[in-house]
Each structure stands twice: as C-alpha cells, then as structure tokens.
Chains A and B, each alone.
Chain A
Amino acid sequence: MLDIKTLNLDFIVDNERHSVLKNLSLTVPSGATLGIVGESGSGKSVTAYSVMGLLPKTAEVSGDILWKGQNLLDYTEEQWASIRGSEIGLIFQNPQAALNPVFTVANQMIETIMLHQHLSKEQARATAIELLEKVNITNAADRIDDYPHQFSIGMCQRIMIAMTVSMRPKLLIADEPTASLDVTSQQQILRLLTEVKSAYDMDLIIISHDMAVIAEHCDYVAVLYLGEVVESGKTDSIFKNPKHAYTKKLIDAIPKISFL
C-alpha cells in the first residue's frame, strides 16, 4: 500500500540547502516486513517522518509518496491528521522520551483510544488495560496510572506499541525500535512487533542500523546510503548475493560467533 517514488528531501538552514534524500524509491509489499538499513545520517528516520508528514518547516520535499494510490505530499494538515495513527503508525527510537512526562500512561492511552474509536472513558480505559496486558505489562490495571518515568525503557516501548496498535494502523513504522534497549529487551520487542503484525494484519517497516536485526526479522530490505537506496530486494537474496559495496560492508560487520 505504501509506494515511495523518487523522493527528494532538502533542509534549508541559514539560506543553505542540505540534501538529505536523493531520488529515494521503495515499496512495501502487502503483508510483508520491510527493513530499512543504513548508518546514522543516511536518512532512515527522515524517510519515516516524510511518510507521516512530520517534517519541520525547513524541509522541502518533492516526489511521490503514494498511500493507497493517493499522493500524501498533496495532503493538507487536516488530511494528515486523519491518517496519522489510524492508517500509518510510528514507533520511536527513545520510547521514554516519546511519552509526555507529566501525564499518566492512562491519560495518554485513553486520549489516543478515544480519538480513534467511539468509546466512553471507562471503555477506553478497559481497552487500554487489556492492550497493556497483551504486551506483557504485569499488573496493568494498577500500573496504568503510573507516569512514564516509573517504567523501564523496555516497558515504555511496549506501552508505545500497545498505544500505536490501539489505533489499528494498516502500516506500522518502527524507527530504531531497539536502539535504546539492552540485548534481551531487544529480542522481546522485535518478537512483539512481529506478533502484533500478524495479529492485526499490518505491514511493517523496521528501520535499523543493525543488519543482524534486519536479517532476522525482515522479508525485504532496502539499503540506504547517504540518502539514496543503493540496493533493495528480498532479504535472502541480498544476503546471499550483495551487489553494492556498502551492502557487503554492512553484512560483514555482523559479528559472527563461530566455534573453533
């Protein structure tokens, strides 16, 4: 449903034009998990923000971002607001920073749920608790009234996933979902994402700098280097036969454990 064609993105700062994305094209095949991989500065997160219409005012975009055939770049602010969350959802890199520190988790989840579904406050609260239990937050009924800083980062990410999923998006973009987590939490979150994807029948994009994560969880991959897609295709084929020098470097960088 998502089809990006020749996307160009520049930032204009102090009258200087900085090119961030050049002729970027990628597609998310229906029902698949696409991995976008690249190093810091390659433009991975900016791509996600472009799809959500969350770029700052200094950004100048051209090209096509086709969602269900419509070009999102023509959207007005109201139209964007109508698809954000309900059609396309975004998970952030630092989950604790992505939650408002002065409101309880209950407040934020109920706000989101009531915005997207016609439920009363009590019903929304019950739904929220249910979702939190589904993402393995223990004692959800009590903990929902806690503040974000009272949860661990791993739990915050799970809360974020629960909140985003409550909106029933058709596409879920996870921007470096495990960057702030320790190794065990990383695996839990990635597994949770895959579960949630099949449970709610969503397309999934995982953005990461870690090729190993992509290798394990994504059907397709697009390799980003300095704002351009240098290689893309099925993960298996890319790994077996990397064509671009940079792809080869990324694959080589995966630490391998070998028995001597």
Chain B
Amino acid sequence: MIRLLIKRLILSIPILIVVTFISFAIMKLAPGDPVSMYLDPTVSKQDVQHIRDSMGLDKTIPVQYFLWLKAICKGDFGYSFVSKQPVLEAIFDRLPATLLLSVSSLLLILCITFPLGILSAYKKHSFFDDAVTVLSFFGLSIPAFWLGLMLILLFSLNLDWLPSSGYLDPLLLDEPLYIRVGNIAIHMILPLMTILIGSVAGLIRYNRFGIIKILNQDYITAARARGISERKILFKHALKNAMLPIITLLGLELPALISGSYIIEYIFAWPGMGQLGVASVFARDYPILMATVLFSSFLIVLGNTLADIAYYYADPRISKK
C-alpha cells in the first residue's frame, strides 16, 4: 500500500512542477513592484536596492525560480502584503476550517448520493425517479453563490433560525467544548446545504446511470435466481460495484468541488483557506494567492492519488491479478 502511494505521488511530481511554474508566473506577472509592498516611503533608495538584491530580484528569471523553489521547500512562502504575516502560517491557520467543511461535505455527499441513486435506479421511471431527476437537474443549474444567498435570505434574514456567517459565536469562546462544537455545527449547516445541493445533484445522475447498468448485469439476475432478496441485491451486490465509478468521478470532480467551496467560504465568511484566497484576490495579495494555488493543487493531486489507491483496492480485478 505504501509502495503504491509513493509510486503514485512520484508520478504526480511533473504535475506539481508545472503548478509551481504557474504559481511563480502569477508572482512575476503581477503588476506592481513587490518590494514596495513591504516598505514605506521613508526607506532610502540604497536600502531599497539592498533589499532588492537580497530578494534576488536582480537575477535572471530561471535563477529566481530556483531560488523561490528552494525557499518553498524550506517552508518559506514569503509574507502577506496585507497582514505581513508569514504566508505559510496564514494558510495553516485557515486549513482546519476548510478541511472541516470539505471532509464533512464529502461524507454527507456519499451518504446521500448512494441511497438516492440506488433507489432512483431501481424504481426507474417511477414518480420518485422522475422527481429525483428533475431535482438533480435543478441542483446542477443553480449558481452556488446565489443559492447561498437565497438560503441566507430565507433562514437567516427572514426566519432567523441559522447564522448567516462565521464559524463560532464570539460570545461563546469561554463556554465548554460541547457548546462550542454545537455552535460550530450550527454555523456549518447553511454552507453545507449549499455545497451539497450542487454536488449531490450531479453525482446522483451519474450514480443512477451506473447502477442501472449494474442492475442489467448477469450476476444480478443470477443472484435473484438463487432467491436472494431484492434488498440484499441492491444494497450488497449492486452497491459495492457502484462504488467503483463513483470513486473515479469524485477524483475528477475534486478541482471543481474545491474551487466551488472557496466561493462558498467567501459568501458565508467561513474562515477557511478559500475565504482567505478570495479576499486576497481583491486585495491583490500575491504571495497568499500564489501559495493558495500551490496548496489547492496539492490537495487536488493528493485527493486524486487517494482516489486512485482506493479504486485499486476496491476492485479485486485490479488488485488481485
């Protein structure tokens, strides 16, 4: 298992290298002088030149790239233009919140898609199936940010049931853990709903189609011919086969899922990497932007690798040759 993981990660290195090119290009192509962002007008011209040299800005571009790469590997991602905080620190501060949202949404997606997809496929063309199909088309067509806004309008502004932004009510900072956790969960409800409605929609249709194909297979008929109950056929025999294409699809959808969650973090002011990223776009905080691109791509590559490995182990036709 470890060998496979390492092998896959090594194969991903070219991708990560190209991503570093792109990130570096962002830094370089950005208008404005990076040095001036850190200084105030009282600094003398000689000192400015001195700082320039120490930042390596007088060297050729390829050399700058390698110096930058070296710094990155050491964990030095520079400093935010806005907060002057080390970029790595700023991002790591935000990472837990993003992971919390992403992992929860992923789990919920799986829990919802499978049963709905299976039932939909089984009761093909029934009212239930048609309703699920139409709803999923809607989910695919709604702009996520607008959905977020509408949910805020309904549940926060009109009904006042749920908070419209943030992560934790600042008044509860001293409360015991379970109260804080509960409050965080309440804050998560609207962002999660927004993410789920969009992603579940697409996955259900894919799942349904895959399961319809599976239900037409000989081994399902053969299982029925042995007197196995419909329930067991759906939730044991068909389900395990249905996992395989879903794992691939999740891997393919990952970039869109991550990008999309950034906008949602922004709308709901959820203090994650995405909110920092989008805010930094407006603030033209290029060091943060560059690092966010790097980290996001890394997460995507990691996710794809994990999906590959999961697929390898889930399908015995591959793992046992």
Q: Which residues of A contact B (CB under 8 A)?
A: 52, 54, 77, 81-86, 89-90, 92, 94, 97-104, 111-112, 115-116, 146-147, 149-150, 160, 163-164, 167
**CB-CB < 8 A to B41: which residues of A?**
none
A104 proximity list for chain B (CB < 8 A)? 316
Q: Find the A residue at minimum CB distance from B228.
A: A115
Minimum distance in angstroms from A99 CB to a CB of chain B: 6
With A92-B222, A98-B222, A149-B317 as known contacts, state yes or no: A103 contacts B240, CB within 8 Å.
Answer: yes
Q: Is the CB of B241 within 8 A of A101?
A: yes
Bound-complex Cα distance A139 to B219 (A)? 25
Q: Counting CB contacts under 8 A, is B171 at the interface?
A: no
Nearest CB in chain A to that of B124: its residue: A57
Q: How far is the CA of A90 from the CA of B227 in the complex (A)?
A: 11
What is the bound-complex CA distance between A81 and B224, given in angstroms? 8
Report the minimum CB–CB distance from B56 to chain A (whole Å). 55
The answer to whether A81 touches B320, judged by C-beta atoms less than 8 angstroms apart, is: no
- Interface residues in B209-234 by Cβ distance below 8 A to A read 217-219, 221-230
User: When the two chains form their complex, are residues A101 and B219 in contact, meaning their CB atoms are under 8 A apart?
Assistant: yes
| B residues adjacent to A (C-beta < 8 A) | 217-219, 221-230, 237, 240-241, 244, 314-317, 320
**CB–CB B224/A102 < 8 A:** no
Docked complex Cα distance between A82 and B227 (Å): 6
| Chain A residue nearest in CB terms to B221 | A54
Report the minimal beta-carbon distance from A153 to chain B, rounded to whole angstroms: 13
Given that A102-B240, A102-B316, A150-B320 are known contacts, is A81 also in contact with B227, CB under 8 Å in the complex? Answer: yes
CB-based contact B217/A90 at 8 Å: no
Q: Point out the residue from B218, B237, B317 that lies within 8 Å of A92, measured CB to CB.
A: B218
Return B320 CB to nearest CB of chain A, in Å.
6
Chain A residues within 8 Å of B226, by CB = 84-85, 89, 112, 115, 163-164, 167
A100 with B241: in contact, given A54-B221, A147-B320 (CB under 8 Å)?
A: yes
Given contacts A100-B237, A102-B240, contact A116 B227 (CB under 8 A): yes
* Docked CA distance A116–B229 (Å): 12
Nearest chain-A residue to B225 (Cβ)?
Answer: A90
In the complex, the chain A residue whose C-beta lies closest to that of B244 is: A102
With both chains docked as a complex, state the minimum distance between the C-beta of A252 and any C-beta of chain B, in angstroms.
Answer: 33
Residues of A within 8 A of B315 (CB): 102
Are B230 and A99 in contact, with the CB atoms below 8 A?
Answer: no
* Further 15 A-B residue pairs, CB within 8 A, beyond A92-B221, A102-B240: A83-B227, A84-B225, A84-B227, A85-B227, A86-B227, A90-B222, A97-B217, A99-B222, A100-B240, A100-B241, A101-B219, A102-B241, A103-B240, A146-B320, A149-B320
Bound Cα distance A160, B226 (Å): 11
- How far is B315's CA from A149's CA once the two chains are assembled, in angstroms? 11
